[in-house]
Amino acid sequence: MDLSLLPDGGMRWLDASGPKSTIVLSTRIRLARNVRGVPFSQRAKDADRTAVLERVIEAAAASDHLSAAVTFRLDQMERAERQLLHERHLVSKELAGLERESRPRAGAALLVQDQVGVMVNEEDHLRLHGMWSGFDLEDAYAEVEAVDAELGRLVPFAFHHEFGYLTSCPTNAGTGLRASVLIHLPGLVLTKEINKVLQGLSQVGLTFRGLYGENSEVVGNFFQLSNQTTLGKTEDELIDHLGKIVRQVVEYEEQARDVLLRTAPEEVEDKTWRAYGLLKHARLLSFEETMNLLSGVRLGVGLKLLPGPGVYALNKLLIYTQPAHLAAMDGRSTGDRELPTVRAAFVRRLLEAESS
Amino acid sequence: MLCDNCKERDAIINLTQVEHDSKVTLHLCEQCAQQKGVETGGAILKTPLGNFLGAVVKGGGTAGALVPASGDGMRCPACGSTLRDFRDSGRLGCDQCYVSFDTHLRDLLRRLHGSSQHVGERYDLPGMGGEAGAGSDADPRSSLLELKAQLRRAVEGENFELAAELRDRIRVLE
């Protein structure tokens, strides 16, 4: 696998160029689509899945948006490489076959060009997706919708006059749209307002997940907020609604940070500098500790309590301190016992380069 | 600042207690705070995600459980999967399942999404002028007249939830 084929490693969203990017890391849009008349991925035979992949590759080549797409055949890749793509948020755990004792399905693949891509033979035959820097639902949706329109003219999608786009799980039927933002909420966690906010989300038809989507844990105060329902509302309504709520959550987070600065300025300053100091000097770092320390530093940078590092560097650290990335950089296996040492050395190097 | 108790971890909680008329403030880490019976935000977050979502279905195997077992024997002629399979796995076998099990699925979709009527982007099959897809082939129930008759019957039967749904569908078609 050659990730260098991808400009920015398929992660332009890391560059922190988007709106509100100190609080909102990224915006993601995905559309679930299936090929008409072919059994859904879980029920399909290997030959069906391979045929689906061939059709998608053919359609992509004939399209504008994906004509130069790089194709990764997950079913032909080593586990460490699949994990690398997963750590970059380019493929789901299911597609990468990373769940316990699972393997990727035959025909499991990722096509990616610039900021958009298609997962093939995931839970649905096609999962079109795009990831944008910061809080930018409109641009992300416009681009993914354009890919959808193009592919839909070349591949017949399963669509029902009443139920809309048909998906393997009825929770995605209708629009097949999941819009989500990855948001950093340390202020709300520290002021213990977070549970109120999260509970409020479920009452307005939204849901939250951890850093890696469904069933993942919350680490480093990063939350993924997304729409819960996909049917009975238009795509624009779903996106507007999510946007409105996210703006509100960002406001709450900013208020919480103000409260922290007003009521406990020394403690907050101490916490962020302490996190920065540990990252800069620690000799052993677990992934979870790194995430939590990065959260503290990010808060300090957002509040201008710390002079640096830049948000781009912090974003890069989030991705490159994960096991498969460290292992790949250092020619080790992902289970290597020395990864905490390698991680700490990498973090030190990057932070030194930032401050020089 | 380090925890006053263990002196190892970062203090994240300021616990103020009144003992013998004097105020004592302890700076504690999450673990020590928990040992002292203080509920921390972090601890709540570490309980399984989405616990509070309770009955709300989060996909991946749970949606099927909302379908009553009475239809277990029903089989989709296109892919051979049964409604029982769906109840077990939460995943349907193929696009035609939506037609084969439409009554059950309409009910499920309403419970999951509050509606079963797609109002988003319409889709035209490539190479065909009109809209098409599984089960759309001149479905008589989608005709306006039939929908209006169903609406009348629903109102007469005081089935207002269905009536509201039908009214929305009629609006879309009109």
* Structure ipTM: 0.89
Distance CA B94, CA A212 (A): 28
Residue among B113, B166, B169 with most chain A CBs within 10 A, to mutate: B113
For the residues B32-57, what does the mean pLDDT come to? 48
Length of chain B in terms of residues written: 174
The span from the CA of A166 to the CA of A144, in Å, is 18
Distance from CA of B169 to the nearest CA of A (A): 8
- Helix runs in A176-234, H state only: 186-190, 194-203
Angle, CA A139 vertex, CA A236 and CA A187 arms, to 5°: 90
Q: Evaluate if residue B25 carries a pLDDT over 80.
A: no
Residue in A36, A174, A208 closest to B113 by CB: A174
Q: Note whether B50 and B58 are within 8 A (CB).
A: yes
For tokens 């809080």, name the residue.
A135
The tens digit of pLDDT for each residue in B86-134 reads 998 999 999 999 999 999 999 999 999 999 999 999 998 887 654 444 4
Range scoring the smallest mean pLDDT among A22-36, A313-327, A333-347, B61-75: B61-75
Residues in B closer than 8 angstroms to A170, CB to CB, are 63, 92, 105, 108-109, 112
* Amino acid letter for position A256: A
Cβ of A335: how many Cβ atoms within 10 Å?
Answer: 9
Which of A39, A202, A216 is closest, CB to CB, to B56?
A: A202
Nearest-by-Cβ selection for A231 from B50, B118, B134: B118
Average pLDDT over all residues of chain B: 74
β-bridge mates for residue A227, sequence order: A206
Note the pLDDT tens digit of each residue in A162-180: 999 999 999 999 999 999 9
Report the sign of the C-alpha dihedral through residues A135, A136, A137, A140, in that order: negative
- H or E element, residue B15: strand B13-19
Secondary structure of residue A159 in the 3-state scheme? strand
Whether residue A120 has pLDDT greater than 80: yes
Between CA A173 and CA B119 the distance in angstroms is 12
Among the residue ranges A172-186, A288-302, B123-137, the one predicted with the least confidence is B123-137
pLDDT single digits (tens) A58-95: 999 999 999 999 999 999 999 999 999 999 999 999 99
CA-based R_g, chain B, Å: 27
pLDDT of residue A182 exceeding 90, the answer is yes
Residues of chain B found within 8 Å of residue A59, distances taken between Cβ atoms? none
Angle at A55 between CA A69 and CA B99, to 5 degrees: 125
Cβ contact B30:B13 at 8 Å: yes
Amino acid at A74: L
The answer on pLDDT for A217 being more than 90 is: no
CB-based contact A243:A173 (threshold 8 Å): no
Contacts with B57 from chain A: Cβ below 8 Å: 171
Looking at residue B13, its pLDDT comes to: 73
Pairwise CA distance, residues B116 & B162, whole Å: 10
Residue type, A204: V
Is there a contact between A190 and B41 if contact means CB atoms under 8 Å apart?
yes
How open is the CA angle A46-A172-A214, to the nearest 5 degrees?
85
Q: How far is B163 from chain A (nearest CA, A)?
A: 15
Q: What is the mean pLDDT of chain A?
A: 92
Contact A228, A245 (CB under 8 A): no
Residue A343 has pLDDT above 80, yes or no: yes
Q: B10 — phi, psi (to 5°)?
A: -65, 135
Residue A291: the pLDDT is: 93
B152 phi, psi to nearest 5 deg = -60, -45
Alpha-carbon distance B46 to nearest alpha carbon in chain A (angstroms)? 8
**Residue owning tokens 């909302």:** B66
A177 to chain B, any CB pair closer than 8 A? The answer is yes
Minimum-distance CB partner of B142 among A43, A162, A208: A162
Backbone φ and ψ of A322, nearest 5°: -75, 155
**Residue B49 Cα, gap to closest chain A Cα (Å):** 7
Mark yes or no for CB contact A229/B63 under 8 Å: no
Q: Phi and psi dihedrals of A33, rounded to 5?
A: -135, 150
Query: Per the CB < 8 Å rule, is B12 touching A190?
Result: yes
Q: Measured between alpha carbons, how far is A225 from A73 in angstroms, rounded to an integer?
A: 30
Q: Please give the Cα distance from B8 to A113 (Å, whole number).
A: 48
Residue % of chain A over a pLDDT of 90: 81
Q: How far is CA A41 from CA A152, A169, B32, in A?
A: 18, 11, 48
Nearest to A162 among B91, B108, B117 (CB): B117
CA distance B8 to chain A (A): 13
**Mean pLDDT computed over A42-47:** 94
Instruction: Please state the φ and ψ torsions of residue B28, each to the nearest 5 degrees.
Output: -125, 155
Least confident of A52-61, A104-113, B69-78, B164-173: B164-173
Q: Which residues of A touch B169 (CB under 8 A)?
A: 162
Q: Which of A99, A141, A92, A146 is nearest to A121 (CA)?
A: A92
Banded model confidence at residue A186, pLDDT cuts 50, 70, 90 = very high
Distance CA A139, CA A313 (A): 24
pLDDT of residue A55: 97
What number is the average pLDDT over the span A8-17? Answer: 82
Terminus-to-terminus CA distance in chain A, angstroms?
Answer: 34
* CB-based contact A19:A135 (threshold 8 Å): yes
The closest of A187, A185, A206, A251 to A25, measured between CA atoms, is A185
CA distances for A198 relative to A46, B8, B14, B53, angstroms: 41, 31, 24, 10
Instruction: Name the token pair of A75.
Output: 């079913």
